[in-house]
Chains A and B, each alone.
Chain A
Amino acid sequence: MAGWLFVLTLIAALVAVYRPFGDHMYRVVSGTRHSAVERGVYRLVGVDASAGQTWGVYARSVLAFSAVSILFLYAFLRVQDRLWLSLGLPAVGDHIAWNTAVSFVTNTNWQAYSGESTMGHLVQMAGLAVQNFVSAGVGIAVAVVLMRGFAARNAETLGNFLVDLTRITLRILLPLSVLFAVVFMVGGVVQNLSGGTDVTTLTGATQHITGGPVASQEAIKELGTNGGGFYNANSAHPFENPSAWTNWVQIFLILLIPFSLPRVFGRMVGQNRQGYAIAAVMAILALGSVALTVGFEIHGAGTVPQAVGAAMEGKETRFGVANSATFAAATTLTSTGAVNSFHDSYTALGGMMPMVNMMLGEVAPGGVGSGLYGMLILATITVFVAGLMVGRTPEYLGKKIQAREIKLASLYFLVTPLIVLGGTAAAFGTGNASTALNEGPHGLSEVLYAFTSAGNNNGSAFAGITVNTPWWDIALGLAMLLGRFLPLILVLALAGSLARRQPVPESDGTLPTHRPLFVGMVAGVTVVLVALTFLPALALGPLAEGLS
Chain B
Amino acid sequence: MTTTLNDLIEVDPAPEPPAKPVKAGLLDPRQLLRSVPDALRKLDPRVMWRNPVMFIVEVGAVFTTVLSMAQPSLFAWLITIWLWLTVVFANLAEAVAEGRGKAQAATLRSARQDTVAHLTDGRDIAAPQLQQGDLVIVEAGQVIPGDGDVVEGIASVDESAITGESAPVIRESGGDRSAVTGGTRVLSDRIVVRITQRPGESFVDRMIALVEGANRQKTPNEIALNILLAALTIIFLLAVVTLQPLAIFSKAYQAAAPDTAALDGHGVTGIVLVSLLVCLIPTTIGALLSAIGIAGMDRLVQRNVLAMSGRAVEAAGDVNTLLLDKTGTITLGNRQAASFVPLQGVDPEVLAEAARLSSLADETPEGRSIVALAGGGDVPAPASAQWVPFSAQTRMSGVDLGGRRIRKGAASAVLKWAGVRDAEVDEIVDRISSGGGTPLVVAENDRVLGVIHLKDVVKPGMRERFGEMRRMGIRTVMITGDNPRTAAAIAAEAGVDDFLAEATPEDKIAYIRTEQQGGRLVAMTGDGTNDAPALAQADVGVAMNTGTSAAKEAGNMVDLDSDPTKLIEIVEIGKQLLITRGALTTFSIANDIAKYFAIIPAMFAAVYPGLDTLNIMRLHSPGSAILSAVVFNAIVIVFLIPLALRGVRYRPSSASRLLSRNLLIYGLGGVVAPFLGIKLIDLLIQLIPGI
Contacts and interface: CB of A to CB of B under 8 A. Distances in A.
Given A389-B582, A422-B238, A444-B250, A524 B667 contact: yes
Contacts of A533: 235-236, 239
Given A407-B227, A428-B245, A528-B593, A417 B239 contact: yes
Interface in A386-404: 386-394, 398, 401-403
Interface in A463-509: 502-505, 507-509
Interface in B597-613: 600, 603-604, 607-611, 613
Contacts of A401: 224
29 contacts: A386-B659, A386-B663, A388-B225, A388-B579, A388-B582, A390-B658, A390-B659, A391-B658, A392-B318, A393-B318, A394-B221, A401-B224, A402-B220, A410-B230, A421-B238, A424-B246, A428-B248, A441-B250, A503-B519, A517-B659, A517-B660, A532-B593, A536-B276, A539-B608, A540-B249, A540-B604, A543-B614, A544-B607, A544-B610
Contacts of B667: 521, 524
Q: Which among B246, B472, B659 has the highest number of chain A CB atoms within 10 Å?
A: B246
Contacts of A407: 224, 227
Q: Which among A381, A405, A524 has the highest number of chain B CB atoms within 10 Å?
A: A524
A387 B614 contact: no
B631 interface: no
B607 A517 contact: no
A518 B658 CA distance: 12
Contacts of A56: none
Contacts of B243: 425, 536-537, 540
A547 B610 contact: yes
A298 to B, nearest CB: 20
A475 B582 CA distance: 39
B35 interface: no
Contacts of A539: 600, 604, 608, 611, 614
B654 interface: yes
Given A389-B586, A389-B666, A384 B520 contact: no
B576 A391 contact: yes
B576 A544 contact: no
Given A515-B656, A544-B610, 18 more contacts: A381-B228, A385-B585, A386-B582, A402-B221, A402-B224, A414-B231, A428-B246, A444-B246, A444-B250, A502-B519, A504-B520, A508-B470, A512-B656, A525-B589, A532-B596, A536-B240, A536-B596, A547-B613
Nearest to A389: B582
A413 interface: yes
Q: Which among A433, A508, A534 has the highest number of chain B CB atoms within 10 Å?
A: A508
A485 to B, nearest CB: 19
A94 interface: no
B622 to A, nearest CB: 14
B586 A508 contact: no
B231 A540 contact: no
Contacts of A386: 582, 659, 663
Nearest to A547: B610
B250 A540 contact: yes
Nearest to B247: A540
B581 A388 contact: yes
A385 B224 CA distance: 10
A398 B228 CA distance: 20
B579 A389 contact: yes
A543 B611 contact: yes
Contacts of A393: 220-221, 314, 317-318, 578
A547 B576 CA distance: 45
Contacts of A406: 224-225, 227-228
A110 B614 CA distance: 33
A509 B659 contact: no
Contacts of A388: 221, 225, 578-579, 581-583, 585
A539 B607 CA distance: 11
A440 B253 contact: yes
B586 to A, nearest CB: 6
Contacts of B358: none
A439 B240 CA distance: 23
Contacts of B236: 533
A129 to B, nearest CB: 36
Q: Which among A387, A392, A401, A444 has the highest number of chain B CB atoms within 10 Å?
A: A392
Contacts of A303: none
Contacts of B49: none
Contact of B655 (A381, A509, A521): A509
A349 to B, nearest CB: 11
Interface of A: 381, 384-394, 398, 401-403, 405-407, 410-411, 413-414, 417-418, 421-422, 424-426, 428-429, 433, 439-441, 444, 502-505, 507-512, 515, 517-518, 521, 524-525, 528-529, 532-537, 539-540, 543-544, 546-548
Interface size on B, as a range, is 35 or more
Contacts of B276: 536
B596 A544 contact: no
Contacts of B231: 410-411, 413-414
Given A393-B578, A505-B518, A403 B224 contact: yes
Contacts of A413: 231, 235
B435 interface: no
Query: DSSP majority for the A interface?
Result: helix
A539 B238 CA distance: 16
A515 B658 CA distance: 13
B650 A391 contact: yes
Contacts of A422: 238, 242
B111 interface: no
A544 B589 CA distance: 25
Contacts of A444: 246, 249-250
Interface in B567-587: 574-576, 578-579, 581-583, 585-586
A403 B654 CA distance: 25
A385 B589 CA distance: 10
Contacts of B654: 508-509
Contacts of B609: 548
Nearest to B581: A388
A405 B586 CA distance: 19
A507 B320 contact: yes
A425 B474 contact: no
B5 interface: no
Contacts of B603: 536
B343 interface: no
A174 B623 CA distance: 60
A41 to B, nearest CB: 39
Contacts of A521: 663, 667
A543 B655 CA distance: 40
A389 B587 CA distance: 11
B223 interface: yes
Nearest to B226: A403
Contacts of A389: 579, 582-583, 586, 658-659, 662-663, 666
Contacts of A529: 232, 589
B246 A547 contact: no
Contacts of B328: none
A343 B579 CA distance: 45
Nearest to A405: B224
B529 interface: no
A513 B417 CA distance: 66
Contacts of B600: 535-536, 539
Contacts of B604: 539-540, 544
Contact of A425 (B220, B234, B245, B472): B245
Given A390-B658, A401-B224, A509 B663 contact: no
A517 B656 contact: yes
A343 B667 CA distance: 35
Contacts of B245: 424-426, 428-429
A533 B314 CA distance: 32
A417 B239 CA distance: 8
A534 B245 CA distance: 15
B149 interface: no
Nearest to B648: A389
